[in-house]
Structure 1
Amino acid sequence: MLISNHSGTTTFTLLGIPGLETQHLWLSIPFSAMFVVILMDNGGILFLVATKPSLQTPMYFLLAMLMVSDLVSTLAVLPRLLCHFWFGAHDIGIKGCLVQMFFIHCSSVVRSALLVAMAFDRYVAVCEPLRYSTILNHTLAGQLALAALAKGVFLIFPMPLLLQRLTFCKTVIPHTYCDHMAVVKMACSHTKPNRIYGLFVILLVIGFDLLLIGVSYVLILRAVLHLSSQDAILKALNTCSAHFFVILITYVPALFSSVTHRIGPIIPPHAHILLANLYLLMPSLFNPIIYGIKMKEIRYKMAKCLCRRDSLPIDPGHKDGSK
């Protein structure tokens, strides 16, 4: 994709974290550690789901797709960020910038859509437990995953197309990666369509997806409150706890990052950039940890792989893998 650009700009310069340029080498240490942990944790979950027949269920298939979207988001950001910190690789071509932007935002949209699918999974598990395997079969899980992927591609693909018509008179992006709004601010031509479409995507993804998730949890709570015993209520709520914590980690930083883009100088630049990176990396870092802690069957399989003991007792967990 070639951008028609009267200024002749062919590359952008990623500034990194404004105000903390002298600390980039030190900042590379926690980011490197995060990269290693993300690869190991998400890769470990994917390995377990792929190799353990008891985990090859629709629920774990959706979880594996969530891990894939987290890995795509991480690989789109961290390798180039670490090259920037270690080797001073500041420049990125316009094509490379648009490709990075597409994968970053597409993976975020896919992640959000998968969380909606997993909210539906939790609704069925709590409200229709006897029909769980009938309703949420492998075919439906595959269709939900394909719908999430299609939503990400179709919503984000217009962004580079709209950027294609712009003229860029600034080339230094005060960011660590090619965020859509950061690239839009480099243009000296009319950017209102880009800003409107970006806001439309945010409202559709965060607003509409959160609405669907909220409806699912209202129905879940209504069903839980009709249970007779306190143990049954706690058991049902615990079934949803991992998904609930992942929702908080995904959407709260996303909302803050979106707001800071629009309130400008009130937030220091380095705080905004760090928050934007955490918004992308926190789900990738904590999702496998949360699911590993809260889901008994994953804990059991992981412990068995680490300890290499074939004599561990059969896990008595639920058929859906919840604690």
Structure 2
Amino acid sequence: MPISIPNSNSSQFLLTGFPGLEVNYLWLAVPFSSIYAMVFLGNCMVLHVIRTEPSLHQPMFYFLAMLALTDLSMGLSTTHTVLGVLWGFLQEISLDSCIGQSYFIHGLSSIESSVLLAMAFDRCIAIRNPLRYSSILTNDKIMKIGIAILCRSFLLILPIIRLRFLNYCRPHILSHSFCLHQDLLRIACSDIRFNSIYALILVIINLLLDAVLILISYVMILHTVLAIASREERLKSLQTCVSHICAVLVFYIPIIGLTMVHRFGKHLSPLVHVLMGNIYILFPPLMNPIIYSIKTQQIRRRVQRLFSLKRA
């Protein structure tokens, strides 16, 4: 069935999905549905394990619960449009829905970056001040950090609603199966300098600054660890950071890849841009539960116990 392209006077926008693979959408729908199911089940499992295991009621695992909740929300924010396009029951999205989805995608990405930064500080305090760890990171302080992360992320992203007042005179065709801020700017005919400059400032304030602070935290951790005389103690201290380092790489590598493709990959197939966009959205929520289930001993044991009880 031919797809009708919304005209410039319409408030509907076409979700293109995966250019060139339209005949294979039903085949693509199966793996993508499986990935989303794994995202939901994996992050729900992490949240359930942390909630039901008293020994995991510690600062590090509270931050991990925040990360799992963010990843779960990221999956929920895109599943209806991505699977809707692939299964064939959704081709268009309204402007308000598109802006709302874009707001949550970028806001949740900012939250994930902030939580990873908080987890880096958590590891830094645990290794540099182990005796004062519990007194520094109290439940009250963790709650305040969580509220500060939410306010910082969603308030900074709030000016994105200015998209509602732009004029979209170009064909209403989005390059993904979900809405991104830069995608709407691409088809706008109004003055977009504020949005473009503000988006760059946000990248610097959120992602770049967070990455630099995470790096500084690990320089301090490494300095402390190298001062430990025992080789076994050094390895033991570093092993507590492995999961977090993996989560940082899983988050930042797709962002760097997507940025490089957008900036320098204009000659590449649109499909490459779409695939990188989906990796940026789905890879961290998919991988984080796997990383923490494998690398974190307390969670691994609790998950093994959970599945052994179900088999029994």
Q: Same fold per TM (> 0.5)?
A: yes
* 1:82 aligned onto 2:109: no
Corresponding pairs, count: 304
Query: 1:51 corresponds to which letter in structure 2?
Result: T
- Name the counterpart of 1:215: 216
Q: How far does residue 8 in structure 1 lie from its aligned partner after superposition?
A: 3.1
Q: CA shift at 1:160, angstroms?
A: 1.8
Tell me whether 111-120 or 254-263 shows the greater mean CA deviation: 254-263
Q: Secondary structure at the match of 1:279?
A: helix
1: CA distance, partners of 2:265 / 2:199: 16
- Conserved in 2, the CA contact under 8 Å of 1:170 and 1:187? no
Please tell me the residue identity of whatever aligns with 1:122: R
Q: d(CA) in 1 for partners of 2:275 and 2:55?
A: 40
Q: Which residue of 2 aligns with 1:260?
A: 261
Contact 2:47–2:65 (Cα < 8 Å) also in 1: yes
Deviation at 1:99, TM superposition (A): 0.8
- Equivalent position SS for 2:233: helix
Kindly indicate whether residue 52 of structure 2 is the aligned counterpart of residue 45 of structure 1.
no
The separation in 2 between residues aligned to 1:169 and 1:267, in whole angstroms, is 22
Cross-structure match for 1:197: 198
Offset from partner CA, 1:215-272 (integer Å, 9 cap, x none)? 1000000001101011111111111000000000000111111232223523321011
User: What code does the residue aligned with 1:76 have?
Assistant: S
Structure 2-normalised TM-score?
A: 0.93
- CA distance in 1 between counterparts of 2:268 and 2:149 reads 33
Paired residues for 1:35-74 under 5 Å: 35-74=36-75
DSSP 3-state at the match of 1:157? helix
Instruction: Output the amino acid matched with 1:136.
Output: L
Q: Which residue of 2 aligns with 1:315?
A: none
Offset of residue 162 of structure 1: 4.4
Unaligned 5+ runs, structure 2: 1-7
Kindly report which structure 2 residues correspond to 1:1-323, keeping only aligned pairs within 5 A, or say none: 8-308=9-309
Q: Displacement of 1:9 after TM fit?
A: 2.7
CA pair 250-95 structure 1, distance change in 2 beyond 3 A? same
Distance 1:28 1:158 in 2: 34
More displaced 10-residue stretch of structure 1: 53-62 or 287-296: 53-62
Distance in 1 between residues matched to 2:140 and 2:169, nearest whole Å = 46
Distance 1:18 1:245 in 2: 32
Residue in 2 that maps onto 1:314: none
Query: Equivalents in 2 of 1:108, 1:50: separation in Å?
Result: 24
Q: Equivalents in 2 of 1:260, 1:88: separation in Å? A: 30
Q: Which amino acid aligns with 1:49?
A: I
1:283 alignment partner AA: P
Deviation at 1:143, TM superposition (A): 1.3
In the TM superposition, residue 163 of structure 1 has moved relative to its aligned partner by 4.6
Shift of residue 12, structure 1, vs aligned partner: 0.5
Distance in 2, Cα, partners of 1:216 & 1:168: 47
Distance 1:194 1:204 in 2: 15
Q: Secondary structure at the match of 1:92?
A: strand
CA deviation string 1:268-302 (max 9, x = no partner): 21011111111111110010111111111111111
Q: TM-score, normalised by structure 1?
A: 0.90
Q: Supply the AA of the counterpart residue of 1:214.
A: L
Distance 1:224 1:125 in 2: 11
C-alpha deviation, 1:168, in angstroms? 3.7
Partners in 2 of 1:283 and 1:73 — Cα distance?
10
In 2: Cα distance, 1:257 partner to 1:163 partner: 25
> Per-residue displacement from partner, 1:15-60 (whole Å, max 9, x unpaired)?
1112222222221122111111111110001111122222222221
User: 1:308 is paired with a residue of what secondary structure?
Assistant: helix
How far residue 192 of structure 1 moved from its aligned partner, in angstroms, is: 1.8
Give the CA deviation at 1:198: 1.4
Q: What's the secondary structure of 2:266's corresponding residue?
A: helix
Distance 1:22 1:188 in 2: 33
Tell me the distance in 1 between the aligned counterparts of 2:58 and 2:115: 15
Give the aligned partner of residue 316 of structure 1. Answer: none
State the distance in 2 between where 1:216 and 1:36 align. 34
Identity of aligned residues (%): 36
Residues 168 and 198 (structure 1 numbering): CA distance in 2 closer, same or farther, change over 3 Å?
farther
Q: Secondary structure of the equivalent of 2:14?
A: strand
In 2, Cα distance between equivalents of 1:253 and 1:219: 26
Question: Aligned partners of 2:145 and 2:267: how far apart in 1?
Answer: 40
Shift of 1:155: 1.5
CA contact (8 A) 1:123 1:216 kept: yes
